[in-house]
Amino acid sequence: MASSSSQPKVVLLDIEGTVCPISFVKDVLFPYALSALPATLQAQWDKPEFSQYRNAFPAEHATSQEALTAHVKDLMSRDVKIAYLKSLQGYLWEAGYKSGELKAPLFDDVAPKFVEWKKDGKEIMIYSSGSVAAQKLLFKHTNGEPADLIPEISDFFDTVNAGPKQEASSYQTILSAHPEVPEASDWLFLSDNVKEAEAAKQAGMQSFVVERPGNAELSAEDREKHRVIKTFAEI
């Protein structure tokens, strides 16, 4: 276990495998997007409000509904994280969240800890590979109490406005966006991904690895190098 740490002023959170099960994205959100896609394309294809999503795709994949559907299926089968796909997924998920079909299954310790952190004057921010729009949908529609955690969150970062999550420069970008908390050591990043935790540490942040049910197995070396927590109650 890593050495003890000072109390952070900012808690920066990953989503999948940290605040909710990894399975929610792969087993619920992804299939929902694929099932909703054909009817959505049929209804929205020529509408002006949908054009921003369609036109963001490479031209050869936006020639028809069939071509776009095939490209989306290919990207999702390979779990490719690319901005135009993430934007479309967020658009599809929005309808599901609003209808109540989708609700983010947070781990039990998450919502109470959000309230406690805010009461203690800590800032809560999110950094996920999912788009900022998708992040906001997830935190607005949860199974927690309160269900809408958006008011507790100060900022959202993704791979577009911050950069790749396994690169230290991305965490430096996040730091530079908040000069009111200039000391990197006042930031705590929580993630299930060891390489992300290492990148945050390289940028000077504190970082713990979160071990949740369904997450990838951690090695003995991982446990030696990083503080590992099973629940936010340990913080």
User: Could you report how far apart the first and last alpha carbons of the chain are, in Å?
Assistant: 14
> 71 near 57, Cβ under 8 Å?
yes
Number of helices (H), then strands (E), belonging to the chain: the values are 10, 6
The predicted-structure confidence for 5-52, as pLDDT tens digits, reads as follows 689 999 999 999 999 999 998 899 999 999 999 999 999 999 999 999
Per DSSP (E only), the strands in the chain are 10-13, 123-127, 153-157, 187-191, 206-210, 227-229
Tens digit of pLDDT for each residue in 77-121? 998 988 899 899 989 999 899 999 999 999 999 999 999 999 999
Residue 165 counted as an annotated binding residue? yes
Provide the b/e sequence for 31-47 (b: ≥16 CB within 10 Å).
ebbbebbeebbeebeee
Dump pLDDT digits (tens) for 142-182: 998 889 999 999 999 999 999 999 999 999 999 999 999 99
* Cβ neighbours, 10 Å, residue 116: 13
Specify whether the CB–CB gap between 17 and 214 falls below 8 A: yes
Instruction: Enter the pTM of the model.
Output: 0.88
- 6, 24, 13: which is closest to 210 by C-alpha? 13
* Annotated binding-site residue? 128: yes
Cα 105 to Cα 29: distance, rounded to the nearest angstrom: 11
Residue 133 tokens, joined: 């729009």
CB-CB contact of 31 with 145 (8 Å): no
**What are residue 13's phi and psi, to 5 degrees?**
-120, 135
Q: 16 a known binding residue?
A: yes
**pLDDT of amino acid 2:** 42
